[in-house]
Amino acid sequence: MKNLITILFVGLISFAVNAQEKVAKIEFKETTIDYGVIEKGADGVRVFEFTNTGDAPLIISDVKSSCGCTVPKKPEGPIAPGAKGEISVKYDTNRVMPIRKTITVLSNADTPTVALKIKGDVIDPSKSSVLEKKTTSVMNQ
């Protein structure tokens, strides 16, 4: 009886040690997306691509944005080891201003929190700059 209990105990410990070694790893193709200069009302959707380079399923539990003008969408199910996934981000391009936003990804990966960034500048082509309107100097008028 003691031998059976000892064998079961050793088996459980070795199983727990093996289970702890397997970990998911998230590796993004790029962590910053540059929208560049885009026009007001343009398509604001961009995609962050990643791969699970670990040996356990990757579960993304939450994706948050630093602002309500940016809406991220996470994958619904787990990402198998070696598989690729996407996090899409939609920025509200009706806001004419520079873009500097952070998207925080929470997962079960060895690095549980990853910060992704978007940047760019939204312009309104119907409004020209005050500098562009002046063709003559104030002194010449």
State the 10-residue block means of pLDDT for the chain, 141 residues long: 60 55 93 96 95 96 93 95 96 93 96 96 79 54 53
Q: Write down all domains in the chain, each with its CATH number in brackets.
A: 26-119 (2.60.40.10)
Does this model's pTM top 0.85? no
pLDDT of residue 125: 87
Q: Kindly state the DSSP code that residue 121 receives in the 8-state scheme.
A: E
pLDDT of residue 13: 60
What's the rounded Cα separation, in Å, for the pair 52 and 80? 7
The values of phi and psi at residue 30, to 5°, are -150, 145
Q: Kindly state the DSSP code that residue 74 receives in the 8-state scheme.
A: -
Q: What is the 3-state secondary structure (H, E, C) of 52-66?
A: ECCCCCECEEEEEEC
Interior/surface letters 70-101, b for 16+ CB within 10 angstroms, e for the rest? bbbebbeebbebeeebebebebebeeeeebeb
